[in-house]
């Protein structure tokens, strides 16, 4: 075999090898693109589920408020109308007028309660520390579970979206603990650090791990947890689940101070 033939064979072998490498690279890139598209599709589906859960949660909240207005306030005001009609027939009957006033006061109280659920007045006027203490006091009045609030340092007034998200997240975590954890004691701690605003809720009931939390938020239902996820995303906050010893579980939420300052500059 002469030198020319060897050169031609060598070139042919190099071309075949080059084509093989090119085909391998193309197939590998195609697999990567396919994998990325699959991941994107899964993420979009998960995001869609979170959005749907948020919409469902808002719709359920509207239905609950409408039900309270209709069943509680509406029924009370209907009774007031009956009492006032009776009073019109006999203006001298002071008992009817007195009962009407009591019913009106009751209606005003119910409307205030509904308003408080929509926008806590204590939070709006006095800030997170006072609102958290009021929440702990309300839990303690129930008598079945104790809740202690321990502020590590004074909390400054933050952007209203962060304050409301922080309060609603703690409120939802407390509600979930009461419903599912069978806890007898809870401790809420807050601290303002260089890292940001840190909220820590500990309890001595049944807790979950970070892995369990990631699984629960994509399950059907779990509206409360999904609402927490949406609130966390809206203010760029993070959440972690930990076990402290054998009997205590801790949930920690961090609101980055940089984001808080950014919001303050925009307002």
Q: Are 139 and 186 in contact (CB under 8 A)?
A: yes
What tokens were used for 8?
């031609």
Query: 227, 60 in Cβ contact below 8 A?
Result: no
- Please say whether the dihedral angle defined by the alpha carbons of residues 168, 169, 170 and 172, taken in this order, is positive or negative: positive
- Domain residues of the chain, as ranges? 57-118, 121-266
- The pLDDT value recorded for residue 218 is 76
Within the chain, which residues score under 70 in pLDDT?
1-18, 24-25, 28, 42-64, 66-73, 75, 112-119, 221-222, 258-267
| pLDDT score, position 50 | 58
pLDDT, position 108: 75
Cβ atoms of residues 206 and 182 within 8 Å: yes
H or E element that contains 202: strand 196-203
**What is residue 54's predicted lDDT score, i.e. its pLDDT?**
53
Report whether CATH 3.30.360.10 matches the domain 121-266.
no
Q: Which of 238, 159, 231, 225 is nearest to 198 (CA)?
A: 238
What pLDDT score was predicted for residue 28? 67
Give all strands (DSSP E) within 130-195, no chain letters.
146-151, 185-192
Q: How far apart are the first and last CA of the chain?
A: 84
Per the rule left: phi > 0, alpha: psi between -120 and 50, beta: everything else, 222 is: left
């Amino acid at each position: 075999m002469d030198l020319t033939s060897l050169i031609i064979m060598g070139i042919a072998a190099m071309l075949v090898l080059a084509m093989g490498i090119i085909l391998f690279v193309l197939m590998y890139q195609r697999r990567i693109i396919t994998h990325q598209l699959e991941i994107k599709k899964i993420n979009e589906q998960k995001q869609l589920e979170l959005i749907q859960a948020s919409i469902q949660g808002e719709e359920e909240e509207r239905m609950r408020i409408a039900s309270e207005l209709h069943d509680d306030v509406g029924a009370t005001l209907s009774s007031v109308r009956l009492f006032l009609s009776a009073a019109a027939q006999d203006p001298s009957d002071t008992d009817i007028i007195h009962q009407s006033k009591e019913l009106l006061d009751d209606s005003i109280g119910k409307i205030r309660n509904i308003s408080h659920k929509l926008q806590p007045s204590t939070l709006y006027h006095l800030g997170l520390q006072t609102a958290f203490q009021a929440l702990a006091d309300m839990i303690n009045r129930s008598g079945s579970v104790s809740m202690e609030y321990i502020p590590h340092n004074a909390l400054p007034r933050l952007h209203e979206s962060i304050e409301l998200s922080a309060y609603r997240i703690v409120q939802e975590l407390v509600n979930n603990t009461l419903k599912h954890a069978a806890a007898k004691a809870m401790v809420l701690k807050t601290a303002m650090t260089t890292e940001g605003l840190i909220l820590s809720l500990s309890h001595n009931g049944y807790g979950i791990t970070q892995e369990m939390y990631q699984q629960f938020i994509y399950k059907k239902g779990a509206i409360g947890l999904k609402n927490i996820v949406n609130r966390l995303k809206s203010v760029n906050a993070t959440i972690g689940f930990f076990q402290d010893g054998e009997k205590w579980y801790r949930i920690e939420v961090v609101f980055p101070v940089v984001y808080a300052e950014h919001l303050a500059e925009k307002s």
